[in-house]
Amino acid sequence: MKWLLAGFAMLSCGIAAESGVVMFRFGNFEVTAVQDAVSKMRKELFPGISDTEFRKLAGDLQAPSSVNVFLLKHDGKLILIDAGNGGERGTMLRKIKALGISPEKIDFILLTHIHGDHIGGLLDGEGKAVFPAATVFVAAPEREYWQSDAAGARGELARKVFRTYGDRVKSFRFGEEVVPGIRALDASGHTPGHTVFETDSLLIVGDLLHAGAIQFPRPELSATYDMEPEKAARIRKQFYDLAAAASKPVAGMHLPFPGIGRISHDTAGYIFSAEKPR
């Protein structure tokens, strides 16, 4: 287990992580991982695991984590997957501007789901659209839920985003190609319309997991953030198996930055190996 912990430390402390921007190439896509915020996941978020085991797996009672977004370039289009926190905590906008990319240049924004650390960056401090030319895509069941009475006050931010972006918010169904080269896969469980996006050579898995040091060796453990924990655990294993069988790298919004690597099987669960930038 020591080498697994070392792998997560490398992700968190590598040379590239200092700037919070790392570039990769996967198939026909240029992929830039951008760290929006540093994060940790507390033991209390994971019912069903003892302090002793949690500390053994994570090295502490807080597991290394992150808030990541991914900027893809394909066929001359710029595609942002999730938008981070926004506000004082979020650093995504400053970092993509430092790359010479103005918000006006983003063509599409694909949302894995609608939680504040994934959609907060869509609005500025005055409630205006940060990305004035982008079309925003979200799964139909996700949009329907957060606009419904069931979401209550928790849906306030989502409703603000929908109003602000207006007819530039588009819904998709699972199985569809959302934009050329990117297909939406059903990963509901974390939220009603949680989505994994698949390219020719990458799975962008959103909040499929929140603490890799815990949820690779113990995939059956769901965080309290998961709205349907048992379903989330089934879906997590399903995509772990898919990624391992296809030897396809995954990009996770809460994996330690830069959040991209490969999953393989282990007798005690699964192993995650960080992908090197190229």
Quickly state the pLDDT bin for 18 (edges 50, 70, 90).
Answer: very low
Average pLDDT over residues 240-254: 97
- Model pLDDT, residue 171: 98
Q: Mean pLDDT throughout 8-28?
A: 67
Least reliable range by pLDDT among 18-22, 164-168, 214-218, 221-225: 18-22
Mean pLDDT over 45-55 rounds to: 98
Say how many residues make up the chain: 278
Q: What HEC string does 247-276 produce?
A: CCCEEECCCCCCCEEEEEEECCEEEEEECC
Whether 271 contacts 4, CB under 8 Å: yes
Residue 266 has what pLDDT?
83
Task: Compute the average pLDDT of residues 106-111.
Answer: 98
Residue 14 has pLDDT above 70, yes or no: no
CATH no. of 2-274: 3.60.15.10
Residue 17: predicted pLDDT: 42
Sequence-separated (6 or more) residues with CB below 8 Å from residue 204 = 70, 81, 112, 196, 197, 198, 250, 251
pLDDT score of 110: 99
Quick one: pLDDT at residue 267? 80
pLDDT on residue 12: 42
Which tops the pLDDT comparison, 266 or 203?
Answer: 203
| Banded model confidence at residue 264, pLDDT cuts 50, 70, 90 | very high
Report the phi/psi class of residue 10: left, alpha or beta, with left for phi > 0 and alpha for psi in -120 to 50: alpha
**pLDDT tens readout for residues 53-105:** 999 999 999 999 999 999 999 999 999 999 999 999 999 999 999 999 999 99
Could you give the CA distance from residue 17 to residue 13 in angstroms, rounded to a whole number? 6
